Structure formats: C-alpha cells, structure tokens
C-alpha cells in the first residue's frame, strides 16, 4: 500500500496557497489597471487640472459629476448709484478724449521741436529734478522725524507740512513772496548775501519744491510708520550708530516708498503753475516752464498748446504706470521676499520646528562636522560653567555681570566670567524684557547693568559689548546671509574683506556655508535662526543674550547646533543669558538656571 509522506503533503498545500495568492494579486492588479483606464476615459481633459469624475466598474453606470461651484453673483447696481458713477467717469474721460481727438497729430513733431517749447522743457526739467533733489534731501529726514520721534505739537507740525497739498498754488506763491521776496521775512538777509530768488530759476525750483515736498513726506512717513523696528534694534545691538542704522537698514527697506514719493513729487513739480508764476514769473528761457508755456500758447498758437499738453499727459500717464508696479507695494518686493514671509524666512512657528529646508540634506548640511573643520574651537583655558556654578563661595571667581531691574520685572542677578545662565519661565513672565533691558533696548523695565566693572545702563545699545539674538532672528531682508553676519564687524570698523572672512567662518561653523548667498526670504526658519546666531557671535560680544536661539530648528539640526553652541560657550569667557522653554537646552548649555514668574526672578 502506497501513501504520501506528510512533508510532501504540506509542501503541496503551500504551493497551492502560493498559487492562489499570486492569482489573487494578479486579479487585483488587473482590476487596478482597468480602474485606471476607466478613470482616464472619464477625464478627457486629463491632467491635474481636469474635471474630477467618479469611477465605476465596467458595465456599471458612472456616478454623476458634482455640479460646478457657482461663480460670483453679478451685482445689479441701483440706478441712483450707477448714474452718478457714469457721470463721474464722463467728467474725467471727456476732457481727455477731447484733447486726443483735437490733437494735431501730423504736425506734432514740428510743434514739439519749436525752440520755445524746447526752452520751456529744459526749464521744466531743471525745476522738477531740482525740486525732487530738495525734497529728498529735506523730506526724508522730516518724514523720519514725524514717524519716529514724539514731541509736543507733532500733530500741528504734520498738518503744516501737509498744508501745500490743499493750499491753492497761487496762495503758495504769495506766501513764498512774503517769506523770500525783497520785502519778505528773509528778504533782507538774502539780499545781504547776494542771493535773489524772485523771478529767477532758483526761485522756480523753490516754488516747485514747496508744492512737491508733501508728496514725498507723506509716502516715506507711512512706510517708516509701518516698518518693524526690530530691524533697527538688531542693527543697534550689533554696534551700528543711529546714522549707520538709518543709511544701511532703514533707507534700503523703505527705498520703494522713497522712489514712489519721489516720482509723485517729480510729476507734481513738472506740472506746477500757480506758485511758479506768482513767485518766479513767466520769463522765457529763465522761469517759463511747460505749463506756463501752454498758458501763453493758448492765446497765440492753440495747436502748439495742445501738443505740449499731450506731452505732459504722456509724462503723467507714464508715472502712473510706473507707480502701479512694485514701487507702491508695501515696503517693496525686497521686503516681501524677506522675513515678512514667515513661512520661509520667519521663525517657523511656536512648535519649534523649522521649515522644510532644515530636513533636506542635499541643500544644506544637517550638522557641522566637528573633526575636519578648518576653524576649530580651542579648548577652554578655564573651568567650565558647571564647575564654576558648583564651587564654594570662598573660591568663586570675580563677578562679571551684575544686574538689577525695576518696573514690570524686578530682578537681581550676578554671573561669573564664562557662566551660562538659563532663564526659564512661562510665556509673558518677562524673560525677553530682561534681555531687552540688558541690551539697552526699549523695555517695560529699568535695568542697572555692570559688566566687567563698567556700568552699561548709561550707554546706548550700539555702545554696549552685547550680542543679541531675538526670537525671530530679525535678519535684514535686503542682505544675504554672509552680509548679515558681517554687519556687526563692519559696524565696528573691521575692513570689508576681513569682516566677510569672519562671517564665512561662522557660517561654516554652524553648517551654513552653502547658504551664504541666500537672502532671508530664501531660508527656512531654522536656517534663519542659525544665521542670526552666527551674526551675534561674529561681533565677539562680552555679554551674549540668546532669546530661544534653537526654537525654530528641527530635532536633528537642533541637536547638532546645540553641540556646536555648547562648544563655543565653553570657550566663551564672557557671560551668556539663555532664554528657553526647553529644559534639554538649559541642561546642555547652561551651568545655572533661574526662573522668572510673576514679575520676579529666582534661582531655579
């Protein structure tokens, strides 16, 4: 009697099961293939932008496509609003249409080439560009004063500056005569100096500047009022004096507004009539501008007047076309590409994670390599912060920092040379207030600060040997990464090449060498945070203030940067205050922890 071996039976069962499984997989693959074909057939327009339809098995009726979303409802304007609106449009369009219809198009070139027109054009260009130059030289500082400085009567000063916008130009000319004329308030002084403004080209420039100045001041003041002051504070904390901050940070950021105001001022000066004819007269070749020439030509040669009017109309239209672009956008395209784009150049969120770039090893090194670095950090020649914190009082080193604050935050703090103090506490407790007070920045607390035996509380922020890393980095959006890091050394007088070399070293230490040419708007939150840290360290401060410097980093990058920062702090012979919500950061970086809560500071 023959029989099968048990193992042979089990092998046969397994082979049968494998065959069934493969058949099932093949069936499912065939179903998926058919479904894909049916899906493509249902979407004849194809692609991601094609209409979405539901797939049904072969032989079954497809599900109906969803009804398209209704577009915006067309509003039927009431007649009481439509009729006045059309009349207003006709009020503007009809005169311009009349100018275009009655224009002598065939003789236009010859009329504009007339010597009288060319002389008037030359005078107009001198007056308009001279007025813009005067407005820029005087109006930008005035706009800064109105936007940044509080003083008694500020509202009245602003109203006086804006008065030429609503003042009849002829009245402005009379006012100029009474101020700068021969019998005016300054007439005697000007005559003694040999300066004559009335009925002269300088007088025409002055009249144009008088009516054009408010356009520039209004534009620049609005931009300055909307500019985040954290950029100016960051520049001051890097050692830049106020004039340097104004020239290297403020002006580049409000540059689009300055350009827009200058364009408006130029157009207004080019078309000025009443103040010019009253104060400077209508002298051909001397003070006769294009608008004054049009006034005379209407009586002598109407076709020439229309031709010059067309020229002025074309110039005005060109200014409007230019202003519809990037010039009138808030703070310009450069600033929108900067830290204002929080999704890429900002902090990266309160959850402590950076942008996607922090996780892309192909675009950025995930961590600086400690061994092959060409800029090694020397080992500390002094006890570590932990050993300093654990010493008995009798052998404690001398105090490097003494702080006492009053106001919203009441605190007393001392720190030894080389000590890293972590400041913990709930949100809104006053941790950032403490750092701002130490940096000399506006804060709701008054601080008495002594660093290395020198009182700092009477010094301006730029005069304090302090490095400050704010929570969001406050990188200058108009500078790339290496220029941001080199800003502090340049403010201290370091030559440009040496400052750039130092900046490149710090970017290399923090794993950012490949990103040196990127603007803040092209960096993720974590990358921007590291650039801000490098910028503060490149200044070589005696007091380092870090306001959550690692909060925008992803976990892998955070660990690597934490190690690099700890290595630097071990070799840092100054004092460091570290504000953080992460106890791991405090334990890894600091030798001492203090707690801020309820407006008071206590040892943690």
| 50 or 551: which leads in pLDDT | 551
Residue 97 lies in a domain: no
Residue 201 is predicted with a pLDDT of 94
Distance CA 161, CA 152 (A): 16
Pairing of strands 401-407, 466-469: unpaired
Do 306 and 445 share a domain, yes or no?
no
| 58 or 7: which leads in pLDDT | 58
Which residues make Cβ contacts (< 8 Å) with residue 571, sequence separation at least 6? 377, 378, 379, 380
Residue 68 lies in a domain: no
Question: Residue 33 — pLDDT band, cuts 50, 70, 90?
Answer: low
Do 370 and 278 share a domain, yes or no?
no
Q: Which two tokens stand for residue 306?
A: 């229309």
Question: Residue 358 — pLDDT band, cuts 50, 70, 90?
Answer: very low
Please, what is the Cα angle at 522 between 516 and 525, to 5 degrees?
A: 95
Residue 58 is predicted with a pLDDT of 55
Write the pLDDT tens digit of every residue in 554-585: 787 788 878 878 887 887 888 899 998 888 88
Residue 322 lies in a domain: yes
Q: Which two tokens stand for residue 493?
A: 């007088």
Do 268 and 414 share a domain, yes or no?
no
Number of Cβ within a 10 Å radius of residue 198: 20
Residue 495 is predicted with a pLDDT of 94
Do 398 and 531 share a domain, yes or no?
yes
| DSSP track, 460-491 | -GGGS-EEEE-TT----TTS-HHHHHHHHHHH
Cα dihedral 199, 205, 206, 207 sign: positive
Write the pLDDT tens digit of every residue in 394-428: 344 456 788 888 777 777 888 888 889 998 888 87
Do 362 and 331 share a domain, yes or no?
no
Instruction: Find the range with the poorest average confidence among 208-222, 298-312, 446-460.
Output: 446-460
Indicate whether 69 pLDDT > 50.
yes
Distance CA 505, CA 25 (A): 58
Indicate whether 363 pLDDT > 50.
no
Residue 234 lies in a domain: yes
Residue 341 is predicted with a pLDDT of 39
Instruction: Find the range with the poorest average confidence among 11-15, 361-365, 550-554.
Output: 361-365
Q: In which order are the strands placed within the sheet that holds 575-579?
A: 466-469, 543-547, 575-579, 420-424, 592-597, 600-603
3-state secondary structure of 58: coil
Instruction: Find the range with the poorest average confidence among 38-47, 142-151, 152-161, 220-229.
Output: 38-47
Do 422 and 551 share a domain, yes or no?
yes
Question: Residue 365 — pLDDT band, cuts 50, 70, 90?
Answer: very low
| 555 or 190: which leads in pLDDT | 190
Whether 74 and 94 have beta carbons less than 8 Å apart is answered as no
Residue 60 lies in a domain: no
| 381 or 132: which leads in pLDDT | 132
Distance CA 182, CA 201 (A): 16
Residue 155: which domain range?
102-336
Indicate whether 20 pLDDT > 70.
no
Question: Residue 83 — pLDDT band, cuts 50, 70, 90?
Answer: very high
Whether 534 and 512 have beta carbons less than 8 Å apart is answered as yes
Give me the residue label for tokens 């800003």: 487
Whether 428 and 504 have beta carbons less than 8 Å apart is answered as no
Do 324 and 424 share a domain, yes or no?
no
Residue 9 lies in a domain: no
Do 236 and 361 share a domain, yes or no?
no
- For the chain, what is the domain count? 2
Q: What is the domain-level CATH number for residue 326? A: 1.10.3720.10
Mean pLDDT score of the chain: 79
Do 323 and 361 share a domain, yes or no?
no
Residue range 327-336: average pLDDT? 43
Indicate whether 444 pLDDT > 50.
yes
Instruction: Find the range with the poorest average confidence among 158-172, 360-374, 435-449, 459-473.
Output: 360-374
Cα dihedral 337, 338, 340, 344 sign: positive
Do 320 and 416 share a domain, yes or no?
no
Question: Residue 504 — pLDDT band, cuts 50, 70, 90?
Answer: very high
Q: Which two tokens stand for residue 20?
A: 């069934």
Indicate whether 64 pLDDT > 50.
yes
Q: What is the domain-level CATH number for residue 503? A: 3.40.50.300
Residue 21 is predicted with a pLDDT of 52
Distance CA 483, CA 236 (A): 16
Measuring CA to CA, how many Å separate 308 from each of 14, 109, 120, 205, 317?
98, 11, 10, 21, 14
Question: Residue 120 — pLDDT band, cuts 50, 70, 90?
Answer: very high
- Last residue in a domain, options 270, 304, 336: 336
Do 515 and 482 share a domain, yes or no?
yes
Question: Residue 216 — pLDDT band, cuts 50, 70, 90?
Answer: very high
Give me the residue label for tokens 């000319």: 173
Residue 583 is predicted with a pLDDT of 84
Measured in degrees and rounded to the nearest 5, phi and psi for residue 582 equal -105, 115
Residue 283 lies in a domain: yes
Whether 558 and 527 have beta carbons less than 8 Å apart is answered as no
Percent of the chain with pLDDT over 90: 42
Residue 204 lies in a domain: yes
Residue 434 is predicted with a pLDDT of 85
Do 310 and 400 share a domain, yes or no?
no
């Amino acid at each position: 009697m023959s029989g099968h071996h048990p193992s042979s039976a089990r092998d046969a069962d397994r082979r049968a099961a494998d065959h069934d499984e493969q058949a099932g997989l093949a069936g499912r693959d065939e179903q998926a293939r058919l479904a894909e074909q049916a899906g493509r057939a249902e979407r004849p327009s194809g692609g991601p932008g094609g209409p979405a339809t539901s797939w049904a098995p072969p032989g079954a009726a497809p599900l109906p496509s969803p009804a398209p979303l209704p577009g915006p409802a067309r509003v039927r304007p009431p007649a009481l609003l439509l009729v006045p609106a059309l009349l207003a449009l006709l009020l503007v369009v009809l005169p311009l249409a009349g100018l275009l219809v009655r224009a002598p198009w065939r003789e236009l070139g010859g009329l504009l080439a007339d010597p009288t027109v060319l002389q008037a054009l030359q005078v107009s260009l001198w007056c308009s560009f001279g007025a813009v130059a005067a407005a820029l030289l005087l109006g930008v500082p005035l706009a800064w004063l109105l936007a940044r400085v509080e003083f008694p009567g500020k509202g009245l000063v602003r109203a006086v500056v804006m008065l030429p916008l609503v003042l009849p130009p002829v009245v402005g000319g009379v006012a100029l005569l009474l101020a700068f004329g021969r019998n005016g308030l300054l007439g005697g002084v000007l005559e003694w100096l040999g300066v004559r403004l009335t009925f002269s080209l300088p007088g025409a420039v002055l009249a144009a500047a008088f009516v054009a100045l408010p356009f520039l001041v209004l534009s620049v003041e609005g931009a300055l009022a909307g500019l985040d002051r954290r950029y100016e504070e960051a520049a001051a904390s890097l050692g830049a004096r106020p004039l340097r901050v104004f020239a290297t940070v403020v002006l580049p950021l409000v540059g689009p507004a300055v350009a827009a105001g200058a364009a408006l001022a130029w157009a207004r000066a080019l078309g000025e009539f009443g103040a010019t004819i009253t104060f400077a007269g209508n002298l051909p070749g001397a003070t006769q501008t294009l608008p004054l020439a049009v006034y005379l030509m209407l009586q002598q040669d109407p076709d020439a007047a229309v031709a010059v009017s067309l020229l002025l109309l074309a110039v005005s239209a060109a200014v409007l076309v230019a202003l519809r672009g990037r010039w009138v956008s808030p703070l310009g395209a450069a600033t929108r590409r900067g830290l204002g784009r929080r999704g890429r150049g900002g902090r990266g969120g309160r959850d402590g994670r950076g942008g996607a770039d922090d996780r892309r090893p192909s675009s950025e090194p995930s961590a600086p390599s400690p061994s092959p670095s060409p800029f090694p950090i020397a080992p500390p020649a002094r006890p570590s912060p932990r050993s300093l914190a654990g010493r008995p009082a009798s052998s404690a080193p001398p105090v490097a920092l003494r702080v006492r604050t009053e106001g919203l935050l009441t605190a007393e703090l001392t720190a030894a040379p080389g000590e890293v103090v972590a400041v913990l506490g709930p949100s809104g407790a006053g941790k950032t207030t403490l750092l701002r007070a130490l940096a000399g920045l506006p804060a709701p607390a008054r601080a008495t600060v002594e660093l290395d035996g020198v009182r700092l509380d009477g010094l301006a922020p730029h005069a304090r040997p302090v490095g400050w890393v704010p929570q969001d980095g406050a990188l200058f959006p108009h500078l790339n990464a290496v220029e941001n890091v080199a800003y502090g050394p340049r403010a201290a007088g370091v030559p440009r090449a040496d400052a750039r070399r130092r900046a490149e070293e710090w970017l290399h230490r923090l794993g950012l060498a490949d990103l040196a040419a990127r603007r803040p708007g092209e960096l993720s939150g974590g990358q921007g945070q590291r650039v801000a840290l490098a910028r503060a360290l490149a200044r070589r401060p005696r007091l380092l203030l870090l306001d959550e410097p690692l909060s925008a980093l992803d976990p892998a990058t955070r660990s690597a940067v934490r190690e690099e920062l700890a290595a630097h702090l071990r070799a840092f012979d100054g004092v460091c205050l570290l504000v953080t919500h992460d106890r791991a950061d405090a334990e890894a970086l600091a030798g001492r922890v203090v707690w801020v809560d309820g407006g008071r500071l206590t040892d943690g």
